Amino acid sequence: MTIKIYGIKNCDTMKKAFNWLNEQGIQYEFHDYKKEGLSQSLVESWLKQLPPEELINKRGTTWRKLDDEVKNNLNKTTAKKIAVEHTSAIKRPLLDVDGQFYLGFKPELYAGIFNE
């Protein structure tokens, strides 16, 4: 099983996800997209499974700072552009388990993923 987690290291929700994975002894690779950036092809792969409305965090400061025209026309194309140019707008964490993507962290979600 290949597990990769995407996000920003100092995010509180990311820390909860890291703690949960570590407590379960689950090995993972971390990609800090704030430092390492994202490719358009990676974001496109996410958007094949995840709706743009779920991938982009509409509660955050980054979203609120975007132009109204962009916010009012959220689709796969605009979501890809937002995600690549404003990585902080991506909902965190984004978990990749063998090519299946999951957004956010809730202990019961992770338990379901890893105890299947």
pLDDT in tens, 63-75: 999 999 989 999 9
Which H/E stretch holds residue 106? none
Percent of the chain with pLDDT over 90: 95
The CATH class of the 3-114 domain is alpha beta
pTM of structure: 0.92
Burial class, 10, CB count within 10 angstroms (exposed 0-12 / middle 13-18 / buried 19+): exposed
pLDDT at 115 over 90: no
pLDDT of res. 88: 92
- Six token digits for residue 26: 């689950």
What is the band of 116 on the pLDDT scale with cuts at 50, 70, 90?
Answer: low
pLDDT at 1 over 90: no
pLDDT in tens, 7-48: 999 999 999 999 999 999 999 999 999 999 999 999 999 999
Catalytic residues: 11
